[in-house]
Amino acid sequence: MSGSYIALSLSMSVFFSTQVLSKSLPDLEALLGQQLNQLPTNTQISTASRIERSSSDSMAITHVVTDKDIRQFNLQSIADIIALFAGVTTRDDSSFIYVGARGIGRPGDFNSRFLFLLDGTRINENLLDAGLLGYENFVDVGLIERVEFSPGASAALYGNNALLGVINIVTKTTSKLRGVNTAVSITNDGAQHARATIGFRSSSGSDSWLSISKTKINAIPYPVLNVPAELIKWQHLNDDESTRLMFSHQRGSLQFQAAGSKRKRIFPDGFSLISQATPELEELTSEAYLFALTFDDTLSEDIEAYFHISTHGNDLERSIPFILPNGDVEFDRPRNSGRWSNLDGQLMFLGLDSHELMVGFDFQKDHRQEFSASSSIPNEFNFEQKNNESRYGLYIQDLWRLTPNLKFQWALRYDNSDFSSARWSPSFSLKYNFAEKHSLLVRHNRAFRVANFLERYANTAFNIDIPKNETIKYNEVSLIQKWTPSLSSFTTLYKANIKNLIHEDFFAPIYFNTPPIRSKGLELGIDKRWHAGMSLVASMAFQRSELEGGFGIANSPKFIGQLRFSVPLGASNFLLSLHSNAVSKRKSFGYQLPAFSSHDASINWQSTNSLFIALGVRNITNEKILEITSDGFIPYVQRRRQIHLSINWSWSND
Amino acid sequence: MTKAIIALCIFISYLPFSYAQGLSENELKAAFLYRFSQFSKWPPPPPDKLSFCVVGNHELYKAVLALFDTQNIQNSSEVIELPSNEQAQLCDILFLSQQNRQQTQYWLAELEHQPILVVADTSEGFRQGAMIGLIADANNLSFRINLTDAKRRGLNFSAHLLKLASEVR
């Protein structure tokens, strides 16, 4: 009997959905919200070639996560977004989030082997070349239009740091942020987030928006195992608070951006409980800002130009309590402070038949690179180390269309700076369309990383040679295939030689170059759409990285799997989204970290374009995931089960 | 439990519908093209019958044809699939689909200062001179507007179209 009722109700669902389908042509706003039920013929990609190009013309594989994915899977940070990309893993110690790819996830590297861009602007900070992926990043995820990830080496275009991949965060315009746009979210483990954005587009088309957001996480569960009971009772003092402010104004060819963030991480100091009844609090405060002006336009029929100038700041200060023998409390305050400016330019010549020629330059002036430490009473830990530096790069790239089905792209870049030797970085890519919508891509790319200020300073302080530049050479073969209008796949086989990888010594705060590392891997992925709005994106990465002599390296899982699946529920505005992530066992400093698979689910409901609600569970089975992030040899617990609720509401007077 | 499932199904059936999980990419482009024509203004005298020209995409041509049929607007609009640029000046709207640089140059060669709304579906085509770029990301279509170039040709767009564009230049 109950089966009949269910059949009846399902039939009614189908009937009513058919009725609605046959209604008149949707308005423009509804068309913009329309999910494609096929894979688009071409999308736009800017990261792989440093210029916006159609995906069919792209000479590298680029993975994209869009704002729709961000909302559907209720992603909270840049790290959550990056973790969706093929072959990528993230590791969080609750103060900093690290990312690894292609078998390389060096503990404590602060993501300096990835290049991070914000709308094309380099945003790695200038002391550690660190990429900030957590709440200290000044971009709220609600402002992101899409994130592009181009895996592999890209020094021929981008220079320093582009070893394992380039990640470009592209922000929205007022087409999606006009009027008042608000978002609030809460989780069962004490996280609260709120964002308010106002956006305005004038009749002349100039586009302005301002956004402020705040995140608070109270009583964060300690991310380590076997926490002593006397420390657990002070867990309510374990807090994270961050504020982000961002402004954008675009008029014609010019865009101005300003952004700032402040994050304060407070945690009870366990050592102080040895000598007193209540813990002292340790604080970690990070502040960052950016001002950027960009010009992007066509100068003549055959010349396009891009110029960019920006200035940046990043400060990180710790306040570490220690108890003096007489029982007094003293605070040591190590501080990292960076200030730098970038000037970039690029000209594209399209006047030569079958060629797209690009020349460009990048210049970075580090006004301040400063490490210091102080306490209220002078002691032997106080120090101050200051520096400034100039770095520049010149590059040329040509895309040569040899035949309609064969393209060849070469690029060459020269880099130099005050504290490193000059470097040439070439790259070669060949793309052959061996059948309609099936192409073969063969690439040779190189990249390098110059010892950063920390690595130089640490070795200099101990009278040890500064580590040599680390280098990587990638040879890759990829197949990019579109089997049907709704099914595509990619396959990449790569082999890399890594020389002089810079690594921190276990026994002293100094850095050395490792023996050569051989890395090889296979990355596979599919993207499938169904007629009713159902979609599946899945990827697998098999990888192996070894030191010369066959020794494995830390944080290098041999398998990473990703799966994303979304299905509309009936003819409603409900959407069910599932995400699974599996990583094989890996070793780190002698620890054998277990394999894991975690699963997330989210149900979303959208009412026209003004209201969007997402309710979901992360790590449904509460799988215990452990990662080692630095040479502290401490396994950190990752992504415990979390229930989250997000509400986005927007209002516009049009 | 059974009653809860039934109630949920019925509830979901009656919820507002976000339209059409059923349009192909070309059907969606055709719908956008039609909407663009409604929010665009040509210099006087206004055309009696809007000529939609499609280049490089026969499926899109068929989708526009089918759209005109379902919307019953054959009397006020026509769709032409152009084999060469000789007839391009007869168009009011010209959609250049998946054209490379040389092809786009060929189509735009004779149209300098003509009040023809050129729409391209690649970012290269938009930078090369189309007034509207109708460009896909992995999930949706969005559009950009080159207002400066459109005004130079005597075309104007409604404020609503300008507000919904992902970028206006």
pLDDT category of residue A377 using cuts at 50, 70 and 90: low
Q: Which residues of A touch B102 (CB under 8 A)?
A: 353
Tell me how far apart the alpha carbons of residues A525 and A562 are, in angstroms, rounded to a whole number: 9
Report the DSSP beta bridge partners of residue A446: A473
More confident call, B99 vs A125: A125
Does A375 contact chain B (CB < 8 Å)? Answer: no
* Residue A532 identity (one-letter amino acid): A
Q: Say if residue A355's pLDDT is above 50.
A: yes
Q: Which residues of B touch A353 (CB under 8 A)?
A: 102
Chain A nearest CA to B91, separation (Å): 23
Chain A nearest CA to B145, separation (Å): 9
| Closest residue in chain A to residue B133, using alpha carbons only | A44
Tell me how far apart the alpha carbons of residues B109 and B116 are, in angstroms, rounded to a whole number: 13
Instruction: Note whether B19 contacts A574, CB cutoff 8 Å.
Output: no
Does A607 contact chain B (CB < 8 Å)? Answer: yes
pLDDT category of residue A6 using cuts at 50, 70 and 90: very low
pLDDT category of residue A11 using cuts at 50, 70 and 90: very low
Instruction: Note whether A53 contacts B145, CB cutoff 8 Å.
Output: no
Tell me how far apart the alpha carbons of residues A418 and A436 are, in angstroms, rounded to a whole number: 49
Closest CA to A58 of A456, A585, A443: A443
> Least CB-CB distance to B22: which of A178, A207, A531?
A531
Does A569 contact chain B (CB < 8 Å)? Answer: yes
Tell me how far apart the alpha carbons of residues A543 and A143 are, in angstroms, rounded to a whole number: 34
Chain B nearest CA to A319, separation (Å): 44
Q: Per-residue pLDDT tens for B101-136?
A: 888 888 888 787 789 999 999 998 999 889 999 999
Instruction: Note whether A34 contacts B98, CB cutoff 8 Å.
Output: no
Instruction: Note whether B141 contacts A31, CB cutoff 8 Å.
Output: yes
Q: Which region among A243-252, A318-327, A625-634 has the lowest average model confidence (pLDDT)?
A: A625-634
Best probe of the B interface among A41, A85, A250, by most B CBs < 10 A, is A41
Q: What percentage of chain A reaches a pLDDT higher than 90? A: 68
A 101-140 near B (Cβ less than 8 A):
none
Q: Which region among A296-300, A384-388, B27-31, B52-56 has the lowest average model confidence (pLDDT)?
A: A384-388
Q: Say if residue A222's pLDDT is above 50.
A: yes
A59 contacts A49 by C-beta, under 8 angstroms: yes
Structural domains of chain A in order of their starting residue, each with its CATH number: 36-651 (2.40.170.20)
Does A296 contact chain B (CB < 8 Å)? Answer: no
CB pairs under 8 A between A and B: 201
Q: Say if residue A401's pLDDT is above 70.
A: yes
Q: What is the pLDDT of residue A17?
A: 40
H or E stretch including A359? strand A355-374
Instruction: Note whether B127 contacts A52, CB cutoff 8 Å.
Output: yes
Q: Which residues of A touch B162 (CB under 8 A)?
A: 201, 203, 205
Three-state SS at B108: helix
* Cα-based distances in Å from A132 to A105, A125, A548: 15, 8, 31
Closest CA to A314 of A263, A375, A348: A263
CA A564 to chain centre: 18
Instruction: Note whether B23 contacts A34, CB cutoff 8 Å.
Output: yes
Q: What is the pLDDT of residue A330?
A: 86
Instruction: Note whether A252 contacts B169, CB cutoff 8 Å.
Output: yes
A 298-357 near B (Cβ less than 8 A):
298, 304, 350, 353
Please state the ipTM of this predicted complex.
0.86
pLDDT category of residue A373 using cuts at 50, 70 and 90: confident
Tell me how far apart the alpha carbons of residues B30 and B28 are, in angstroms, rounded to a whole number: 5
pLDDT category of residue A550 using cuts at 50, 70 and 90: confident
Q: What is the pLDDT of residue B7?
A: 54
Instruction: Note whether B22 contacts A5, CB cutoff 8 Å.
Output: no
Q: What is the pLDDT of residue B3?
A: 56
Residue whose tokens read 């159609």: A54
Q: What is the pLDDT of residue A378?
A: 62
Q: Say if residue A318's pLDDT is above 60.
A: yes
Q: Which residues of B touch A207 (CB under 8 A)?
A: 167-168
Q: Which residues of A touch B140 (CB under 8 A)?
A: 32-36, 66, 68
Q: What is the pLDDT of residue A592?
A: 87
B29 contacts B35 by C-beta, under 8 angstroms: no
* Average pLDDT, integer, range A160-177: 94
Instruction: Note whether B147 contacts A205, CB cutoff 8 Å.
Output: yes
* Average pLDDT, integer, range A335-343: 95
Q: What is the pLDDT of residue B69?
A: 87
Closest CA to A57 of A46, A68, A65: A46
Structural domains of chain B in order of their starting residue, each with its CATH number: 23-168 (3.40.50.2300)
Joined tokens for residue A165: 């991949």
> What letters, b where the CB count within 10 A reaches 16 and e where it falls short, cover A544-574?
ebbeeeeeebbbbbbebbbbbbbebbbbbbb
> Least CB-CB distance to B98: which of A24, A41, A654?
A41
| Closest residue in chain B to residue A57, using alpha carbons only | B100
Closest CA to A564 of A599, A536, A600, A604: A536
Q: Taken in order A514, A516, A521, A523, is the CA torsion positive or negative?
A: positive
For residue A510, how many other CB atoms are within 10 A of its CB? 17
Instruction: Note whether B163 contacts A37, CB cutoff 8 Å.
Output: no
Does A40 contact chain B (CB < 8 Å)? Answer: yes
Does A509 contact chain B (CB < 8 Å)? Answer: no
B122 contacts B101 by C-beta, under 8 angstroms: no
* φ and ψ of B12, to 5 deg: -65, -35
CA A352 to chain centre: 36
Closest CA to A28 of B50, B22, B61, B31: B31
Q: Say if residue B1's pLDDT is above 50.
A: no
Q: Say if residue A411's pLDDT is above 50.
A: yes
> Least CB-CB distance to A28: which of B21, B35, B71?
B35
Chain A nearest CA to B8, separation (Å): 9
Q: Say if residue A81's pLDDT is above 70.
A: yes
Joined tokens for residue A59: 């000479």
Chain A nearest CA to B40, separation (Å): 13
Q: Per-residue pLDDT tens for A589-620?
A: 778 899 999 999 999 998 877 899 999 999 99
> Least CB-CB distance to B13: which of A16, A37, A66?
A16
Q: What is the pLDDT of residue A590?
A: 75
Tell me how far apart the alpha carbons of residues A370 and B16 are, in angstroms, rounded to a whole number: 57
Q: What is the pLDDT of residue A193?
A: 97
| Closest residue in chain B to residue A488, using alpha carbons only | B138
> Least CB-CB distance to B10: which of A12, A34, A205?
A12
Q: Per-residue pLDDT tens for B2-41?
A: 455 455 444 444 444 443 456 788 999 999 999 999 999 9
Tell me how far apart the alpha carbons of residues A136 and A286 are, in angstroms, rounded to a whole number: 7
Closest CA to A140 of A291, A316, A260, A317: A260
Q: Say if residue A12's pLDDT is above 60.
A: no
> Least CB-CB distance to A36: which of B101, B123, B136?
B136
Mean pLDDT, chain A, rounded, equals: 90
Instruction: Note whether B31 contacts A571, CB cutoff 8 Å.
Output: no
> Least CB-CB distance to A29: which of B12, B71, B164?
B164
> Least CB-CB distance to A26: which of B19, B128, B145?
B19
Best probe of the B interface among A572, A573, A606, by most B CBs < 10 A, is A572
Give the β-pairing of B117-120 and B93-96: parallel
pLDDT category of residue B71 using cuts at 50, 70 and 90: confident
Tell me how far apart the alpha carbons of residues A164 and A325 are, in angstroms, rounded to a whole number: 48
